[in-house]
Structure 1
Amino acid sequence: MQRESHAIIIGGSLAGLLASRVLAKHFDRVSIVERDFFPEKPAPRPGIPQSRHLHILLNRGKIILEQLFPGLENELVAAGAPRLDPRSIRWFSPAGWAPLFSPDLNDLIMFSRDLLDWQIRRRLAENTNVHFLEGGTVTGLLANASRTEVAGVSVRFRDRQNPGNIHEQNLNADLVVDASGKVSQTPKWLKKLGYIPPQETVINAFVGYATRIYECSGKLSDTAPVFVSTAPPFRTRGGGIFPIEGNRWLVTLGGGDRDYPPADETGFVEFARTLPTPIIYHAIKDAKPLTPISSYRGTENRLRHYERLPRYPENLAVIGHAVCAFNPVYGQGMTVAALDAQMLDECLLLQRQRYPEGSLKGFSRQFQQKLAKLHTIPWTFAISQDSRYRGSEGAKPNLATQLIIDYMDLVLKVLVDDAKVCQAFLEVLHMIESPAVFFHPRIAVKAIGQLDNFKFYK
């Protein structure tokens, strides 16, 4: 009788949930080990401290999620998530108001992060080979005698009814996937097994944001949706108003260079008044709040270079924020988690073609190398924005990157008067097109033509 194949995922956030859907196609049993106990309905939980804030699923991410979970979009809408026509969003860009036009993009589905995660967990529970191991904290990696292969994880479990009841358990697996986020302990565990931990690149612009949910009524309903971009180094404040399920409006205010929005009533509204356009201030100053104000400041960009390690154990994959964490203010996180899951699926399919008998030899290193290439564009986008802040700490852009940053400033200047350039920008933003489109002659000529009157950043 053939042995049952088993994959373990560390962490039940979105990256882990999407990875489990993929792994269920390749392994007989998939176990998601999560420190929290999942709520029985859409609600915040400690393991996702940023869940109360604005989350946008870009068009590329929406396409992938629908492929992984057919019908998910309709289920979210049935649960109250509003469809949002992109042409209805007013965008105050770094160069001013973007043109109002009908972009060739699919509708956005707006929701709270709690609703999305709950809906995906519900769909995963329908898979008989996916199992949630809640209240479990992974304490280390298990390895074979030569420490060349990861063989599972050690876990400390708490009891839901009696949290003081703790027991240890070793779980064996053919593949371990770390999706535990920025708090990932894999570097420490690798060092304990005799490996060099990965180098890290950290860039921190000290961006923080505060969020409150309001009742959908009055001036707020007439204003939203709207997004006001920051424009560092001179304009460090921004914000947005977007609808979510339950006929509610979610309002987020943000600032960089430690220019954090306050979490008190008066300070929050006053911060909105100081934005480069008063549109958000006028919308919320008399609106009815439904929640307290929540703050979040853990926005540093962190890249762990697993692809550079001279030695890497077999049967271990690191995905999501555990390997590459972006400043969440740019809205890339959920879509990149979907891209990571897609890459995991593709690499496992290629592995099966090479080794039909099921061997994972060489898989882990090849996967981390491909994942590093996948992350290049969203990482570059995030750090190019954050490096503009005067107080940004970490690696600074090299000359080539700085030239690209300066060029993109010109593109932003063009798009406020050119709907076609704005369309191209939105397609890249939604990861539908490559940033290479910005260098097409029809855009490059217009961008370079802005050199003589280029002032909004300089």
Structure 2
Amino acid sequence: MSHLKIANDTERQQAVVIGGSIAGLLAARVLTNHFDQVTIVERDRFPEKPEPRQGVPQSHQLHVLLTQGQRILEQLFPGLTEELAEIGAESVDWTADYQWLFLGGWGPRFPSGITTRTCTRNLIEARIRQRLATYNSIEFLEAGTVTGLLTNQGNTTVTGVRVRESDGTEVELPAQFVVDASGRYSKTPQWLQGLGYETPQKTTVNSFLGYASRWYQSLSREPLDYKVLYLMPKAPHKPRGGVIYRVENNRWIVALIGVGRDYPPTDEAGFLGFAHSLHSPEVYEAIKDAQPISPIYSYRRTENRLLHYEKLSRFPENFGVVGDAVCAFNPVYGQGMTVAALGALTLDQCLKQHFQRRSNQELTGLGRHFQKQLSKVNTVPWLMATGDDFRWSTTEGGKPSSITRLLHWYLDQVMLVSGESTEVYKVLIEVIHFLKPPTAFLQPSILAQVLRQVMNGHGNTDVVSKSFRTS
């Protein structure tokens, strides 16, 4: 699977993807709809089993595939959801099986049909990779580091990539289209600068959130009446939270969360002490006598970061950038894999439209058009993630505008109402899972309930303080 074949004919047939994580794998999948050969270049060697790997430092941490993301994966890989079930991924109804302590108190529990299979990111990535390995048009180059882009004489068009293989050999891999899916550590800004282009403007919003996570074979008290539990941090004074998440093979991931550099410890006593300090005892009670099967893993690279490729006045032809290489989110919101899936669909649509408009196979204008379309896809999740991070006074990267503060107030009212209304709570979960846009909060029935709450004098968010035990 790691053998490299150099294509002799690049007229239309070859595409290259830099990076073999979720965004890169999904980009490769849609590229097979338009190119005869797709090569995925990954600096790691892929594990034989669904295990963490060095190139994904957050792979030990909890990852959530939202319902919209699961639907897209099923569209791209029919039968994948059932495969995950057969391997042991639990079915979770995100209202019936989800115990959430948030601004509205404990979320109501009822069946909604908003479901996913909860499992590790490692399992999802491994199953997608195994599916792609069955495609004759897909080739993997493992332990290969892309050291630069190949271009034409005027540097106006990308014509492939330069790769350093595991033995140190440098090879040139020609391609008609190249996609950078190499994540937060993407070299594209430096490559563009070296080719005479501007580097993209970068926006960073950092709430200085950190995780400490541990895997368990069993918890202190089972069976539990939930499959996912989330004690949500509450701005401005309760920066700590915790998650219990069921994954395949009857295992659990427990993640402790701290905002504003209130990072959870990674030693045994500190981890338990942090759990005990949370505003409700569920996490501590679940792990105090539990059976851990892993060390405690820390992760603190959680800033939201957006590179504005869509604003560049010049952009090389036959090139695109996807996933975290463009837009990386604070992972506490669980958006990353789903936004990567939406980006893959956007790439597919842009390619379809481009080839429908042109009788020949040249790709002039495709890259810039795709980056502009991708920026539209990223806008809503970006505003959702950064808007929530701006609730914390310790957040760096700007200050909330008066409009953002107004939206905070209105969303607070929606969350307060949703603690009592299954109708509003379901809409809240649908927005979180990208099944409805945030404008759904403005529908008349929700507006009426919010107005009634405020008119009755119950709009002060302090009314939920009774749901939170003082730390």
Q: TM-score, normalised by structure 2?
A: 0.93
Deviation sequence 1:37-59 (CA, Å, 0-9, x none) = 11111111011111111111111
1:355 and 1:203 map into 2 onto residues whose CA distance is 40
Partner of 1:10: 18
2:406 counterpart of 1:403: yes
Q: 1:22 is matched by which residue type in structure 2?
A: V
Distance 1:250 1:223, change over 3 A: farther
1:234 and 1:211 map into 2 onto residues whose CA distance is 23
**Cα offset, 1:218, TM superposition:** 4.6
Distance 1:2 1:342, change over 3 A: closer
**Cα offset, 1:399, TM superposition:** 2.4
Deviation sequence 1:105-143 (CA, Å, 0-9, x none) = 2x2201111111111110000001111111111111111
2:121 counterpart of 1:101: no
1:235 and 1:217 map into 2 onto residues whose CA distance is 25
Distance 1:395 1:220, change over 3 A: farther
Q: Equivalent of 1:187, from 186, 189, 198? A: 189
Partner of 2:202: 200
Deviation sequence 1:324-360 (CA, Å, 0-9, x none) = 0000111000100100000010110001101132221
2:331 counterpart of 1:328: yes
2:462 and 2:402 map into 1 onto residues whose CA distance is 18
2:40 counterpart of 1:37: no
Question: In terms of mean alpha carbon deviation, does 365-374 or 403-412 score higher?
Answer: 403-412
Q: Equivalent of 2:345, from 334, 342, 345? A: 342
1:457 and 1:7 map into 2 onto residues whose CA distance is 55
Structure 2 portions without partners, runs of 5+: 1-8, 464-471
Partner of 1:161: none
- Report if the CA contact (8 A) 1:206-1:392 is conserved: yes
2:69 and 2:205 map into 1 onto residues whose CA distance is 25
**Cα offset, 1:457, TM superposition:** 6.4
Q: How does 1:20-169 map to 2 (within 5 A)?
A: 20-86=28-94, 87-105=96-114, 107-158=115-166, 165-169=167-171
2:385 counterpart of 1:377: no
**Cα offset, 1:227, TM superposition:** 1.2
Question: Helix, strand or coil for the counterpart of 1:140?
Answer: strand
- Report if the CA contact (8 A) 1:92-1:227 is conserved: yes
Question: Helix, strand or coil for the counterpart of 1:447?
Answer: helix
- Report if the CA contact (8 A) 1:11-1:178 is conserved: yes
**Cα offset, 1:219, TM superposition:** 0.8
2:104 and 2:268 map into 1 onto residues whose CA distance is 30
- Aligned-residue Cα RMSD (Å) equals 1.5
1:176 and 1:221 map into 2 onto residues whose CA distance is 49
1:419 and 1:273 map into 2 onto residues whose CA distance is 30
2:415 counterpart of 1:412: yes
**Cα offset, 1:221, TM superposition:** 3.4
Deviation sequence 1:257-292 (CA, Å, 0-9, x none) = 001111111111111111111111111101111111
1:368 and 1:75 map into 2 onto residues whose CA distance is 33
- Report if the CA contact (8 A) 1:41-1:118 is conserved: yes
Question: Helix, strand or coil for the counterpart of 2:71?
Answer: helix
2:111 and 2:279 map into 1 onto residues whose CA distance is 25
How many aligned residue pairs are there? 451
Q: 2:97 is matched by which residue type in structure 1?
A: S
**Cα offset, 1:230, TM superposition:** 1.2
Q: TM-score, normalised by structure 1?
A: 0.96
1:316 and 1:398 map into 2 onto residues whose CA distance is 35
Partner of 2:429: 426
Partner of 2:315: 312
2:301 and 2:137 map into 1 onto residues whose CA distance is 35
Percent identity, aligned pairs only, is 48
